[in-house]
Structure 1
Amino acid sequence: MMNHRPPQALLFDLDDTLWPIGPVIAAAELGWHAWLAERAPVVTDKYTVEQLRALRMALLERQPDMVADLYKLRRAALEAVFLETGADSTHIDGAMAHFHTLRNAVTMFDDVLPVLEELRTMLRLGVITNGNADLEVIGLHHHFEVALASHSFGRAKPAPEIFLAACTALGVAPEHAIYVGDDLRLDVQGAQAVGMRAVWINRSGSSAHLEAGIVPDAICASFDELLVWVKAQMRHNEDQEPKGH
């Protein structure tokens, strides 16, 4: 379905769209476990990194609404383990603060910052994320007028409410907004369901969209390709405007 309405806003996913998140979380989990080993060894003597992760996943299965706030999930699982092992609960706040620091030690894809700098001169920019990245800590907050996270909003992508709320916060109609993300279901389907255009960032060259039967409005292997596509959308709309007599 073609959408030739002029774009006014561009909204982004964060994890695996602006930076790779797998290596960050893997390193954060190891660093977190080492921090706990120094202060609550009864926890780490009983539970490995993998076993703590399995406990969180089991808790999430029992309380699926926690998907909207993964810090809350992590803390709840940790509190249960501290109680079970008799560890000193005064370390829970410190453990969560330490994980927050490690989780935000991200390294952006090389093409992201230059393109964001250019895009912010062209369109209003925003963020919709299911993750817990802290844009101020990372140093990116000044690029975005609106940053909506599931843990504060209370609903996670692909819920239509979070996409619509972000558009409302930016003061643009969904059909005038474009969403950019790496996840076909959460990002592409979620955005298109409310009338937004959706760009799939597919750095690996995957054909998963064909198997899933999902049709992004554009597929970009890099932010450089995204910039070219956005400029083409804006030029197309300029070309379609009626000329004065």
Structure 2
Amino acid sequence: MLKLDPIPKVITFDCYGTLVQWHDAVRRAVRAILSRRLRGNETDEQVTALADRLREAAVERQQRSPFCNYKAVLQSSLNEVLRDAGYSATSDDQETLLSILRWIAPHPEVPAALARLRERYRLAVISNTDDELITGTIAAIGTPLDYVVTAQQARAYKPDHQLFLHAYAVMGVTKDETIHVGMGQFTDLKVCHELGIGSVWIDRIGEPLNPDWVPDVVLDDLSGLPELLLPS
């Protein structure tokens, strides 16, 4: 067990990528969108490149002012990356993207890991999304969560401190009474470093770690988290 002082009251989680299969969902959406234009002849390389760029564009747009909801972020990001690829986005493209991202399956180990952790801790999601867009995905996870705090509620996207501070106010805790589990370095580890929040990095894809945002613990997935945080 990780030595925690004080013992957390709440474990907070990033959702997309950390708990659910975000990268696969974005690739499925992009493949469907490209398939309309390339008649099923799109390559895996084309799909991956456009999906990577779509995720990057969405993160970039989240950092712009003024705040706009995540549905609009996704739609404008899709318009941008399709335009750069030589295509025009259609309403069907927009609906394909949003419909796939409204229900994303959890990583296989996640429901059981969360169920074990819930025996001792309150569990929360802090996510760069809208309330409506994440509802189906939270249901897909299966394990009940005590709090789901979104960028829409705080009107701020990670790594803006405001989203975390809003979450702590909602949960009635201080940062020292939580530990955060996330996959994103810029969106999660950065703010944990800046605010002094205990952190667990879930490195699902073997990314190089930014030395400026070193977490307390690194795991490949959530399967080892109960052993780390629960007494033996």
> TM-score over 0.5 for the alignment?
yes
Shift of the 79–66 alpha-carbon distance from structure 1 to 2, 3 Å rule, reads farther
C-alpha offsets along residues 67-119 of structure 1, whole Å, 9 cap, x if unaligned?
864421343577899xxxxx9xxx84x76444322123423222111011111
Counterpart of 1:134?
Answer: 134
Deviation of 1:175 (Å) = 0.2
Q: What is the letter of the counterpart of residue 99 of structure 1? A: L
C-alpha offsets along residues 23-59 of structure 1, whole Å, 9 cap, x if unaligned?
211211233466799xxxxxxxxxx985xx78x949x
Counterpart of 2:222?
Answer: 223
Counterpart of 2:20?
Answer: 19
Counterpart of 2:161?
Answer: 160
* In 2: Cα distance, 1:29 partner to 1:206 partner: 22
Q: What is the letter of the counterpart of residue 27 of structure 1? A: R
Deviation of 1:218 (Å) = 1.4
Deviation of 1:66 (Å) = 7.0
Shift of the 76–219 alpha-carbon distance from structure 1 to 2, 3 Å rule, reads closer
Structure (1/2) with the larger helix percentage: 1
Deviation of 1:14 (Å) = 1.1
Shift of the 11–78 alpha-carbon distance from structure 1 to 2, 3 Å rule, reads closer
Identity of aligned residues (%): 20
* In 1: Cα distance, 2:57 partner to 2:206 partner: 29
Counterpart of 2:65?
Answer: 65
When the two structures are aligned, how many residues end up with a matched partner? 209
Q: Which runs of 5+ in 1 are unaligned?
A: 38-47, 82-86, 236-245
Counterpart of 2:41?
Answer: none
* In 1: Cα distance, 2:127 partner to 2:197 partner: 16
Q: Which runs of 5+ in 2 are unaligned?
A: 39-45, 83-87
* In 1: Cα distance, 2:230 partner to 2:9 partner: 12
Report if the CA contact (8 A) 1:115-1:227 is conserved: yes
Counterpart of 2:181?
Answer: 180
* 2:195 aligned counterpart, secondary structure: coil
* In 1: Cα distance, 2:203 partner to 2:57 partner: 27
* In 1: Cα distance, 2:155 partner to 2:11 partner: 22
Counterpart of 1:108?
Answer: 106
Shift of the 118–159 alpha-carbon distance from structure 1 to 2, 3 Å rule, reads same
Shift of the 119–204 alpha-carbon distance from structure 1 to 2, 3 Å rule, reads same
Mapping of 1:166-245 within 5 angstroms? 166-209=167-210, 212-232=211-231
Shift of the 30–162 alpha-carbon distance from structure 1 to 2, 3 Å rule, reads same
* In 2: Cα distance, 1:57 partner to 1:181 partner: 20
Deviation of 1:145 (Å) = 1.8
* In 1: Cα distance, 2:6 partner to 2:205 partner: 30
Deviation of 1:216 (Å) = 0.9
Counterpart of 1:41?
Answer: none
* 1:113 aligned counterpart, secondary structure: helix
* In 2: Cα distance, 1:119 partner to 1:205 partner: 25
Report if the CA contact (8 A) 2:57-2:77 is conserved: no
* In 2: Cα distance, 1:195 partner to 1:29 partner: 37
Mapping of 1:53-92 within 5 angstroms? 57=57, 64-65=64-65, 69-76=69-76, 92=91
Report if the CA contact (8 A) 1:36-1:95 is conserved: no
Which has the greater radius of gyration? 1
Report if the CA contact (8 A) 2:106-2:140 is conserved: no
Counterpart of 1:121?
Answer: 119
Normalising by structure 1, what TM-score?
0.68
Q: What is the letter of the counterpart of residue 73 of structure 2? A: L
Report if the CA contact (8 A) 1:199-1:219 is conserved: yes
